[in-house]
Chain A
């Protein structure tokens, strides 16, 4: 089953409607455009890839969606227990609560997403403790379980991430984010700084977790191989704007926009 078909299944099964609806989102840095006029829907269980050259606004968009940056235009509607809520307009405490329960954010550089002075177990347990877990044994059990799921040996649980390889750090960051069972995961170049062989293993792992947990994911990347493997749908950005979007296979195999054609062909030349 191709990635496109998964998306269609998700859509048919997703009777409850979109998980995220982004409307007219924009962010400027002074006179410079970070991103502008971005609109899309994300469905439960769907993986959306965002590609585009350096400086095209991918990280800006992701930061606005995740509440790290305040957009100056548009709405980001997220499905909560109380229906669709605009996360841009909601009070900060509520947005931060969503950020540590329903959302997760995987940074390109693991050190931005990990506490380097805290053991692997403490890193994984932090989100549990943040939402009120107060049983040491249970927290440690969950941490052990998650280390195993991201293929980190149990006997490394008390080591600090600084003693881990780049790939292990990234897997630890993923475990730390997924331990509370978030519904929406943001990833900014999660395979960015890694060796090719390490990237492949991480991608396999990510794909497995996404399927197993039915995660909805928005993943930013330079790497078209990453989107081909992971993304159901693809959004292409240029100069802060979305120039093309559609099912991943369609966009990659039959790009409509000139810029997308360039992007696809330049990758093929590599």
Chain B
């Protein structure tokens, strides 16, 4: 039930309108970081208050909300944010990617392709992809304005010089619609190809840094690379030990004191759905309901 002390979805209508304007601008200028007046939310910044505000501004009572953290619906962060919106918006919640109309995420894009009508909201800690090498905000703005993106390749150059390959594996920078260079938030680079040509609307919210940016449906998104060191969407070279999937992003899990390991899908809904459909991996429990 919705808590009567708050407006629907916690934020007042004035604030939501302000955030929606920023979102619309972001969608109109794909990859461009739109400043917005971030509000205090009743949770710490590290919990993704930017994403929470974007979600609050987008939610309607009919929505089915899914919240994931590192691919899982049951981590503390995901559970808390989901509970927050159940309380302040009274919306239905779900773990099923296909049923959700709005998905708030941290660190992953679901494995199942999203469809038209869905909104994917990312929690972003540091929205500025140039920050690593150019700390001055005035200068990074100018670089975006004038498309001076040589510095992004300096970062990749340093990676190769130091590690022999592009070692950046999270928050791997992309160029959007041939124009803005964008930080896709700390998703694994395995997820980068899913950013492109996605049927859903993708929104990115950074609370502490007060920035919103967006990818409209079917956007052109290219991961930066060198001709002789092309981008590779890599993952652990295993199949999921629970559901047998060979094409999903895997977490490595230590299973006993003897150093035993297993690889499991990081997208728990994807893994459970496959399991329910009878797919089995190397270490799947033989009895039903063993997950």
* Interface residue A122 (Cβ < 8 Å from any Cβ of B): yes
Q: Report whether B133 and A118 are in contact in the complex, using a CB–CB cutoff of 8 Å.
A: yes
Chain B contact-residue range equals: 10 to 19
Is the CB–CB distance between B158 and A126 below 8 Å?
no
- Please report which residues of chain B, range 142-156, place their CB below 8 angstroms from some CB of chain A when the two chains form the complex: 146, 148, 150-151, 153-154
A137 CB, min distance to chain B CBs, angstroms: 5
| Whole-angstrom CA separation of A134 from B149 in the bound complex | 12
**A135 vs B225: C-alpha distance when bound (angstroms):** 9
In the bound complex, CA of A125 to CA of B133 (Å)? 14
Residue numbers in A under 8 Å from B150 (CB-CB): 100, 126-127, 129-131
Check if B133 sits within 8 Å of A158, measured CB to CB: no
A135 touches which one: B146, B158, B228 (CB < 8 A)?
B228
Known: A93-B146, A115-B133. A121 touches B228 (CB 8 A): no
Interface of A is mostly: helix
Number of A-B contacts (CB under 8 A): 56
- Name the prevailing secondary structure of the B interface residues: helix
Contact A137 B228 (CB under 8 A): yes
Interface size for chain A: under 10, 10 to 19, 20 to 34, or 35 or more residues? Answer: 20 to 34
Complex CA gap A118/B157 in Å reads: 10
Cα A121 to Cα B151 in complex, Å, equals 13
Task: For the complex, give the distance between the alpha carbons of A214 and B246 in Å.
Answer: 59
Contact indicator per residue, chain B 258-284, by CB within 8 Å of chain A (1) or not (0): 000000000000000000000000000
Q: Does chain B have a CB within 8 A of A117? A: yes
CB distance from B218 to the nearest CB of A (A): 26
| In the complex, residue of chain B having the shortest beta-carbon distance to the beta carbon of A136 | B226
- CA A202 to CA B154, docked complex, whole Å: 27
With A126-B154, A140-B161 as contacts: A92 and B146 at CB distance below 8 Å:
yes
Q: How far is the CB of A192 from chain B (nearest CB, A)?
A: 24
- Taken residue by residue from 101 to 141, chain A's Cβ proximity to chain B (1 for < 8 Å, 0 otherwise) reads as 00000000000000101110110011101110111110110
- Nearest 7 CB-CB pairs, A to B? A130-B150, A129-B153, A136-B226, A129-B150, A135-B227, A93-B146, A122-B154
Supply 5 further A-B pairs (C-beta < 8 A) apart from A125-B154, A126-B154, A129-B154: A100-B148, A122-B157, A127-B150, A133-B153, A140-B157
Q: Which residues of B contact A (CB under 8 A)?
A: 133, 146, 148, 150-151, 153-154, 157-158, 160-162, 226-229
